[in-house]
Amino acid sequence: MFSNKPSSFVSENTKCPKLEETYKACFNDWYTNVFLKGKGLENGCRNEWEDVKACMMILINEKSLEISIEKGEKETEWKIKNFDE
């Protein structure tokens, strides 16, 4: 079962923890009351998972953009520095 504590990736960002907490609560309820009792195999928390996944993808894309911008700035600084020498 999941801990209700947000993962480190999510807790560093303030956008997704509530969605993750909602999903984990839903999953834990399904796991305990459905799966373990042999009442079904299909996770009933698909919508909650899709919300978490979408939020995480936004964070990943934002982080990738930040890394690309930082890399571009460093390359530009290096080119300017070497051009001046």
Amino acid identity, position 52: V
What confidence tens digit (pLDDT) does each residue in 48-59 have?
999 998 998 888
Global pTM reads 0.60
The CA-atom distances, in angstroms, between 70 and each of 27, 64, 79 are 38, 10, 14
The predicted pLDDT at position 21 comes to 95
User: Quick check: helix, strand or coil at residue 70?
Assistant: helix
The predicted pLDDT at position 83 comes to 57
What confidence tens digit (pLDDT) does each residue in 20-65 have?
999 999 999 999 999 999 999 988 899 999 999 899 888 888 777 6
